[in-house]
Amino acid sequence: MHFDLTEDQKEIKRVARELLAARSSWARVREAAETGAYDPALWDELRELGWPGIAVSEEHGGQGLGAVELAVLLEELGYACAATPFLSTAAAAAAIQACGSDEQRTRWLPALASGEATAGIGTRALCADGVGADVLVLLERPSGEAMLVTGAETAPLEAIDPTRRYATVSGGDGEPLGGGGAEAVAAADRVRAAIAAEVVGVAQRALEMTLAYVKERRQFGVPVGSFQAVQNRCAQMLLDTESARSTAYFAAWAADAAPERLQEAAALAAAAAADGGRSVTASAIQAHGGIGFTWEADVHWLYKRAQLDAALLGGARQHRARLASLAAARA
Amino acid sequence: MDLTFNADEVAFRDELRAWLAANPAGTPPHGDEDAHYGWRRDWQRRLADGGWAAVHWPAEHGGRGATLTQSAIFYEELAAAGAPLPANVLGLLLAGPTIMTWGTPEQQERHLVPILTAEEIWCQGFSEPDAGSDLAALKTRAVKDGDEWVLTGQKVWTSMAQYAKWCMLVARTDPDAPKKHQGLTYFLMDMEQDGVEVVPLKQITGESEFNELFLDGARVPDENVLGGVGNGWKVALTTLMNERSGLAFFLQVRMRQLLDQLIGEAAERGLLDDPVVADKLGELHLRCEVLRLTAYRDLTAIETYGQPGPEGSLTKWMWSETNQQLTQLAADILGPEALTNGAPWAFELLRARGNSIEGGTTEVLKNIVAERVLGLPRLK
């Protein structure tokens, strides 16, 4: 029993944190959000580092690492609220690597791992990075199969989160990922586990920004962070962030090491991330007071990302229903 | 990252499971608190005979030198087998390790074995009417008289005092010390004497798990001072900081069993298809799992760094809140059946209210998280 990142995984996390602090500052995120375009230099750099193929085998041009390493990178990209098609591309590649047919792997993995091709993930009503994507991985139902869709028509969707591009999808040719059935369901769970990992980083950043702010901001002659009402809010933010982290790491671990537990783990991670991400980032706005409600402060990017990630996860409610039926089957 | 047990841990678990299967705790006596406690005392004797009473103690003192993970496995398996906690749980978890840290060889020789075998039960005399969350505000006085100390004051929330031979007790020996956490001394007090009166405290459940302890001239000889005169705050911190993470696993498994039982009740009433009920049960399942996973993260942090990570301060808060939600949902689903005196769910509902108060109120836990984990400034 060792429920923590390994030294190598911590090193990946540290390197990612440093790189993104330098390359994806709030100024860069804001620029991407306000122009509606991703930061091409950042994406090129992530491609050169081989990150999109982190969980793709070396045989198919990837790094040959696993779902936990992918989760670590996603957590850091979420922490930076980075404006790139990384989540969609890397999560789709990881799902195809783990669950796809030989043909699907050969066709998609080399291009996705190198970032020459990009993927979209989500549903027909809400697909992250759908516009211009070479392939879509669509999850229509909470316990349903992931579908690989090509040749679909996509239309930009002006979602409230401008740090990522979203689309609606119609038409196209679809086939279940892998041989369908359990493989395609596992693929969908892997994608959800990846989204949940991003939310952990989003929540962690919101918590840290809030702590820094309430220690600095003074009212009535003292830092507002010395008031218990503010302190209790921050403690709750920590609890929600750590709950999301425990379940997201569990899901990432289960994806590779205990596939028979992935279904439940992914539902746990999705439910904890969907609600936790929303409440932590909402608290961040509240704790920032008036400034938190302005466009100028950066906390709203995190709130908006958390909202859309929760929507991509399908919301917490359907995952709780799934958990209830899993628990009832076992009780 | 590895969320499976290694070979040593599996071997430990399998040996324990086999022992528990061969030595069932049996059915608890119902409705009689003294008989129930006697049953737990007998259970601890059997655990001690099998070498299972204090797995976390070093082998030289009769334990197994178990790792934290093995200790967690012990409590999980105990709960899973439907067995109770050992009767002398405060002795095993708090008094024993504190005496091992601060005790003289003579004190260790005198006390450790009777703790292990439940021959001598221990209680904890820390909290007072005006010193609950703020322990250093305690007022119980100890005055030197020859080679003895004379104790006067009142302690509250002393569980098991009615069965205890010994009390780990903190009293003020120097009222003139400049700071309130100075001038305290830690005593090992014999409960069987005239100056000690135990008065049961009736709880909202109607039961009396806890007592008030009145000290009026109780005497403690010098040799029963633990860790030196005036050093009581440090010794008390050892007791308070002592590794209780194993207990979290027992409670966590008990809560899971309660949830499974509630799911069964809901199923019998055809309520699993009710979306509101399903949503709440799903949330409780999530919380139970978050608690289990977070407790394991905490174990890893303690094993790796020697101290809990930020998540460690969250589990007790999460557990109490979840147990309260669970028992409230049971009352919602079962209605009057769960609200009738003597009904197990009625007991659980009422008992759960104490969860967020005992062992650190949720309010204080949040303060601790804010100040020590998040580094927020203290209001002057």
Calculate the dihedral angle through the C-alpha atoms of A247, A253, A255, A257, rounding to the nearest 10 degrees: -140
Termini Cα distance of chain B: 42
Report residue B242's pLDDT band, with 50, 70 and 90 as the boundaries: confident
Report residue A236's pLDDT band, with 50, 70 and 90 as the boundaries: very high
A230: amino acid identity, one letter? V
Report residue B380's pLDDT band, with 50, 70 and 90 as the boundaries: low
Is the minimum CB–CB distance between B343 and chain A shorter than 8 Å? no
Bridge partner residues of B189 (DSSP): B167
What distance in Å separates residue A134's CA from the closest CA in chain B? 34
Which of A211, A239, A327 lies nearest to residue B318, judging by beta carbons?
Answer: A239
Which run of H or of E encompasses B213? strand B210-221
Which of B275, B296, B374 lies nearest to residue A3, judging by beta carbons?
Answer: B296
Domains in chain B, ordered, with CATH? 7-87 (1.10.540.10), 122-231 (2.40.110.10), 244-373 (1.20.140.10)
pLDDT digits (tens, 9 = 90+) for A308-328: 999 999 999 999 999 999 999
pLDDT digits (tens, 9 = 90+) for B276-290: 999 999 999 999 999
pLDDT digits (tens, 9 = 90+) for A70-111: 999 999 999 999 999 999 999 999 999 999 999 999 999 999
Bridge partner residues of B201 (DSSP): B210
- Say yes or no to pLDDT of B335 above 90: yes
Bridge partner residues of B123 (DSSP): B167
Residues A247 and B288: their CA atoms lie apart, in Å, by: 11
What sign does the CA torsion over A183, A187, A188, A190 have?
positive
A141: amino acid identity, one letter? R
pLDDT of A143: 60
pLDDT of B243: 65
Binary contact (A234, B380; C-beta < 8 A): no
List alpha helices for B50-185, DSSP H: 68-80, 89-90, 96-102, 105-117
Which of A222, A231, A319 lies nearest to residue B370, judging by beta carbons?
Answer: A231
Q: Which residues of B touch A5 (CB under 8 A)?
A: 1
- Say yes or no to pLDDT of B375 above 70: yes
B292, A264 contact by CB (below 8 A)? no
Domains in chain A, ordered, with CATH? 198-330 (1.20.140.10)
pLDDT of A331: 80
pLDDT of B358: 87
What is B165-193 written as a DSSP string? SEEEEEEES-TT-SSTTSSEEEEEEESSS
Which run of H or of E encompasses B36? helix B33-49
Report residue A140's pLDDT band, with 50, 70 and 90 as the boundaries: confident
Contacts of B239 (CB under 8 A, 6+ apart): B94, B95, B98, B124, B126, B168
- Say yes or no to pLDDT of B308 above 80: no
pLDDT of A241: 97
- Say yes or no to pLDDT of B379 above 80: no
Report residue B305's pLDDT band, with 50, 70 and 90 as the boundaries: confident
- Residue B375 vs residues A218, B300, B372: alpha-carbon distances, Å: 16, 23, 5
Nearest to A217 by CA among A297, A285, A282, A288: A288
- Residue B166 vs residues A31, A296, A313, B110, B157: alpha-carbon distances, Å: 69, 63, 56, 12, 15
SS3 of A160-172: the string is CCCCCCEEEEECC
- Say yes or no to pLDDT of B321 above 80: yes
Catalytic-residue membership of B243: yes
pLDDT of A179: 86
Is the minimum CB–CB distance between B318 and chain A shorter than 8 Å? yes
pLDDT digits (tens, 9 = 90+) for B159-209: 999 999 999 999 999 999 999 899 999 999 999 999 999 999 999 999 888
pLDDT more than 90, % of chain B: 84
Q: Which residues of B touch A328 (CB under 8 A)?
A: 263, 266-267, 272, 281
∠ CA B239-B241-B245, rounded to 5°: 110
Q: Which residues of B touch A235 (CB under 8 A)?
A: 366, 369-370, 373-374
Is residue B305 left, alpha or beta, with left meaning phi > 0 and alpha meaning psi from -120 to 50? Answer: alpha
Mean pLDDT value of segment B120-146: 94
Count of Cβ atoms closer than 10 Å to residue B155 Cβ = 27
Count of Cβ atoms closer than 10 Å to residue A243 Cβ = 29
Is the minimum CB–CB distance between B144 and chain A shorter than 8 Å? no
Which of A1, A238, A253 lies nearest to residue B314, judging by beta carbons?
Answer: A238
Closest chain B CA to residue A269 = B286
Rg of chain A on CA atoms, in Å: 19
Residues A117 and A110: their CA atoms lie apart, in Å, by: 9
On whether the pTM is more than 0.90, the answer is yes
Q: Say which residue the tokens 């990075």 belong to.
A: A129
Bridge partner residues of A219 (DSSP): A222
∠ CA A26-A73-A259, rounded to 5°: 145
Binary contact (A246, B294; C-beta < 8 A): yes
Is the minimum CB–CB distance between B282 and chain A shorter than 8 Å? yes
Mean pLDDT value of segment A285-303: 97
